Amino acid sequence: MRILIALLAITLVSGCHLLKTKPLPEETAFEQTLGIEKISEKLQTPAGQYELGELYLQRQQAGDMENALTLLEKSANSGYAPAQFRYGQLLVQGYGVEKDLKAGAAWLRMAAASGVDEAQIALADLYAQGNGVEQNWFKAKRWYDLAAKQENPQAMLKLGKAYIASARNEEDYQWALHWFELAGNLGLAEGKYFAAKLYASGVGGGKDLNKALTLFQQAAKAGYVDAIAEVGQLLRYGTSNASSDPLLAEELLQEAISKGSGQAAFEMGSQYEFGEENKPQDFAKAAEWYQKATDAGYPYAAYRLGELYRLGFGVEKSIAKANVLYETAATNNILPAIVSLADTIFQDPTLTKEGLVRAIQFYQRAADLGDPYSQYMLSEFYRLGLGVDQNLQTSVDWFYRADNISDNARAKYQVAMHLAKGVGFAVDEPRAFEWLMAAANQKYPKALVTLGDWYSLGVYVPRDYRQAHDWYQKAALQGSPEAEYNLGLLYYNGQGVEHDMQTAFTWFEKAAKSGVTPAQYQIAEMYYQGVGVSQNDVNAYAWWSLSTAQHINSTGHPLQKIIARMPAYEQEKALVLAQNYQEKYGKKLLVE
């Protein structure tokens, strides 16, 4: 399970859309239709104008929308807060009137300031999404908070989500849990659901699987279908108060899917993407399930599906489709989707000035949410004056904001790769080396492997196999399968170390068992030839079968010869072992 993850003076006359209306219908006809006794009296007061406007909206006969807008605007201009809310809402939605987010936000702000909780929520939604106003989590949370303090459960729910979307520390998650629980206590099933997710994940320091299970069960009983899938996930492994029951877990997952749960469809997709819960790794099926989850409104699924389109796993590669999906997820403040969207725009070979500005806007948004990679990217943009006015102080400020985040080594590595390869930036090898060393000094495995590659190949630095060995070894100690394979190659070829086939086999085998296809291929050769390990046709066949299944070209490899020369009992062993290896070591390693 991988996961957790928001929605909005008298007189700005220029933005108020003053509409002409048709005359009101005959009083008696209007009375019969809407049950109002004295229209003329209602028209004299802002409250009455608002009431009539609402009734026109409900009736929806010819000319009613124009009349409704006129009455609501008149009432709003008189300072009647409910009318200000409704008129602002119509402008924001473009319902019956030309959409005008800025003017709509102004009317909502007036109604919100008068204490209308629905207006406070709608205005907070605009700040959360950056629609008609500058995106601002502080202001969004402030308006949600005011509505929540009026015991509005939807405001409490959205406030909790806002704390998660803008979280920078454990305290933010604790506040999110506080508001989710209050919403749940007021009978909102979704509040119980999100409180349960925090208890299940332990984010915020309060991991409690038993409490999570109870809350998920309560939310499921109240009809929140995503909770059914979560109950199943917890029962799959069990808690201290509930025994593991994989069969019931699968039944609940299927039940949730049948009821349209986006969470359940996402979970199924995740199982196929990563080859979990006895399902084979199958990217095409993962894409199908992620699409279903996306259609059901589960935004994190849109992000994962976007990743599959970006990489071309299980679907035809399409950056355009990936970006559409990233945008869907980004609208719901899924942070990795915002970052991926910024990257794909910035890395486009046909990047325009407008595209650069748009990419920086997304990096800025992710940086404001605490993403260190985006903060480092902004630091480089301001240092170079790329897409923004050059400002070294701002560059330094963003750098130190990122550097104060503990988990920032991967971010440094990503910036290094952009500078080394000239992705978006001009190639800057010395600067790339600085960033890469910074990531390597934090023992980030990919940085350690890349330094090994640079020294092994002699790119950006003089070739030095001994240095390559040392960096690969540091990465291997961090569990990097790629480093294990590369160490095997150095020992196999005697580069920077003594020629040692047994040590080479040891490293190749470690990498092979982690799913590195070239390593699987290599130890098959070594078993076949008896180099570095005792000759063994059964093992050679099993590993060759696996590497061939992973699309390594096996032309000329004597698989059939091996089978032909094996006794019958060994042939059977080879086939069984090949199947066993496929299940254990056949998963495709995903790139970061």
User: Number of C-alpha atoms within 13 angstroms, CB side, residue 322?
Assistant: 25
Above pLDDT 90, what percent of the chain? 69
Task: Of 165, 402, 520, give the one whose Cα is nearest residue 173.
Answer: 165
The pLDDT of residue 86 is above 50: yes
Contact 512, 585 (CB under 8 A): yes
Contact 430, 415 (CB under 8 A): no
Tell me the two tokens of residue 81. 């807060």
Question: Cα separation of 69 and 59, whole Å?
Answer: 13
Tell me the two tokens of residue 214. 């109870």
Tell me the two tokens of residue 16. 């108020």
Which pLDDT belongs to residue 588? 56
Contact 475, 449 (CB under 8 A): yes
Q: What is the pLDDT of residues 137-153, one digit of tens each?
A: 999 999 999 999 999 99
Tell me the two tokens of residue 305. 């599906």
The pLDDT of residue 415 is above 90: yes
Helix axes 64-77 and 81-93, enclosed angle (nearest 10): 130
Contact 88, 107 (CB under 8 A): yes
Question: Cα separation of 328 and 381, whole Å?
Answer: 26
Question: Cα separation of 89 and 97, whole Å?
Answer: 11
The pLDDT of residue 548 is above 70: no
The pLDDT of residue 5 is above 80: no
DSSP, collapsed to helix, strand or coil, labels residue 510 as helix
- Burial class (CB within 10 angstroms; exposed 0-12, middle 13-18, buried 19+) of 519: buried
Q: What is the mean pLDDT of residues 190-219?
A: 92
Question: Cα separation of 445 and 474, whole Å?
Answer: 8
Residue 250: C-alpha distances to residues 151, 271, 377 (Å): 38, 12, 43
Question: Cα separation of 304 and 311, whole Å?
Answer: 11
The pLDDT of residue 83 is above 50: yes
- Burial class (CB within 10 angstroms; exposed 0-12, middle 13-18, buried 19+) of 19: middle
Q: Identify the DSSP state of 281.
A: P
Q: What is the pLDDT of residues 109-133, one digit of tens each?
A: 999 999 999 999 999 999 998 888 9
The pLDDT of residue 465 is above 80: yes
Q: How many CB atoms lie within 10 A of CB 468?
A: 27
375's CB contacts (< 8 A; 6+ apart) are: 367, 398, 399, 401, 402, 405, 411
The pLDDT of residue 1 is above 60: no
Total count of residues recorded for the chain: 592
Task: Of 293, 3, 239, 6, give the one whose Cα is nearest residue 128.
Answer: 6
Which pLDDT belongs to residue 583? 76
Task: Of 518, 503, 514, 509, give the one whose Cα is nearest residue 552.
Answer: 518
Question: Cα separation of 505 and 193, whole Å?
Answer: 50
Which pLDDT belongs to residue 391? 94
59's CB contacts (< 8 A; 6+ apart) are: 33, 34
Average pLDDT, the chain: 87
Phi, psi angle pair for 203, to nearest 5°: -65, 130
Q: How confident is the model at residue 565 (pLDDT cuts 50, 70, 90)?
A: confident
The string of DSSP codes covering 407-474 is S-HHHHHHHHHHHHHTSSSPP-HHHHHHHHHHHHTTT-HHHHHHHHHHHHHTSSS---HHHHHHHHHH
Task: Of 529, 564, 522, give the one whose Cα is nearest residue 544.
Answer: 522
Which pLDDT belongs to residue 587? 63
The dihedral formed by the CA atoms of 260, 263, 269 and 275, expressed in degrees to the nearest 10: -130
Helices and strands (H, E) in the chain, number of each type: 32, 0
Question: Cα separation of 13 and 28, whole Å?
Answer: 34
Q: What is the pLDDT of residues 383-406, one digit of tens each?
A: 999 999 999 999 999 999 998 887
User: Number of C-alpha atoms within 13 angstroms, CB side, residue 394?
Assistant: 14
User: Which amino acid, 410?
Assistant: R
Residue 12: C-alpha distances to residues 67, 94, 105 (Å): 20, 17, 11
Question: Cα separation of 134 and 101, whole Å?
Answer: 11
DSSP, collapsed to helix, strand or coil, labels residue 298 as coil
Contact 483, 517 (CB under 8 A): no
User: Which amino acid, 47?
Assistant: A
The dihedral formed by the CA atoms of 171, 175, 181 and 183, expressed in degrees to the nearest 10: -160
Question: Cα separation of 525 and 540, whole Å?
Answer: 7
Which runs of consecutive H residues, i.e. helices, occur in 494-536?
A: 501-513, 517-529
Contact 34, 156 (CB under 8 A): no
Q: How many CB atoms lie within 10 A of CB 470?
A: 16
Which pLDDT belongs to residue 40? 62
Question: Cα separation of 419 and 405, whole Å?
Answer: 22
Tell me the two tokens of residue 339. 């970052």
Tell me the two tokens of residue 35. 């049950």
Which pLDDT belongs to residue 552? 40
Which pLDDT belongs to residue 59? 81
Phi, psi angle pair for 17, to nearest 5°: 50, 70
Q: Which of 35-39, 176-180, 440-444, 580-584 has the lowest mean pLDDT?
A: 35-39
Contact 566, 537 (CB under 8 A): yes
User: Number of C-alpha atoms within 13 angstroms, CB side, residue 237?
Assistant: 9
